[in-house]
Amino acid sequence: MVVSPKIAPSMLSSDFANLAAEAKRMVDLGADWLHMDIMHLALSKGYLVSRYSRVYNSLCYSGRHFVPNLTIGAPVIESLRKHTSAYLDCHLMVTNPMDYVEQMGKAGASGFTFHVEVAKENWQELVSKIRSAGMRPGVALKPRTPVEDVYPLVEGETPVEMVLVMTVEPGFGGQKFMPSMMDKVRALRQKYPTLDIEVDGGLGPSTIEAAAAAGANCIVAGSSVFGAPEPGKVISLLRTSVEKAQPIT
Ligand SMILES: O=C(CO)[C@H](O)[C@H](O)COP(=O)(O)O
Ligand SMILES: [Fe+2]
């Protein structure tokens, strides 16, 4: 197995007012990547409505917004880049990822992961532009999207370099891990032994074993890391679980 573990604390759970210090703290505690969640603004009262997230997510998706939340954008990435050389693993939960490629590249993003649900028509052009802008392309899929939808993007002439399997409905940190998503991870790992496979949502000490056993090597963890009394211990536990499940040979 040639894939290596990448532990990526989700900065969505950090103190945004102290982002540079939070980033440094995570890197010092052993983080490989910093996961940056870029989300679009929802309709008003989005958070409350999102309590009914299944219905609301489909409303958002059919409308202008990908998720019922608003987080950060390229200006924040640009500011953070001045304070860290860490790999910034950017997860774009937006309906129009193409519009953000140039600005994210200039801002200093390292990885640019877009959602397959909004890129069925133009993913080849999108992947080429991401590469030209100096970033590593990745594709993400929502829980109700079949895994087969990303196969062409992994196998195409301009392939993505990572698949992000959402293990919660995108939009918010602190949700419950969906174990049924491990079927997707297993299918991807079986088909692509050297691919970076990232899992995102609800990962922590109680769910890492399932994800690692299924073959995930890139682990996003927000609330379980930032909410822990000793975040460094959680980071190293996540890494050990991936290493044990997939020893690097
Ligand atoms: O993409 C995301 C939400 O859409 C976040 O990366 C994810 O939820 C991480 O947070 P947590 O580990 O707390 O679930
Ligand atoms: Fe994310």
Residues 105-131 pLDDT 10s: 999 999 999 999 999 899 999 999 999
The residues assigned a catalytic role are 37, 200
∠ CA 9-192-200, nearest 5°, is: 20
Q: Is the CB of 227 under 6 A from ligand 1?
A: no
Please choose, from the candidates 90, 70, 92, the residue with its C-alpha nearest in 3D space to the C-alpha of residue 80: 90
In a domain, 160, yes or no: yes
- Amino acid 41: pLDDT: 53
- The total number of structural domains in the chain stands at 1
Q: For the purposes of burial, counting CB atoms within 10 Å of the CB of 144, is it exposed (0-12), middle (13-18) or buried (19 or more)?
A: exposed
Q: Which domain holds residue 141?
A: 6-245
CA of 176 to the centre of ligand 1 (A): 10
Asked if the interface predicted TM-score (ipTM) of this complex is over 0.95, the answer is yes
d(CA 88, CA 153): 22
Q: Which atom of ligand 1 is nearest to the CA of 222?
A: 12
- Amino acid 54: pLDDT: 55
Q: Is the CB of 168 under 6 A from ligand 1?
A: yes
Q: Which CATH number does the domain housing residue 238 bear?
A: 3.20.20.70
In a domain, 213, yes or no: yes
68 band by pLDDT with thresholds 50, 70 and 90:
confident
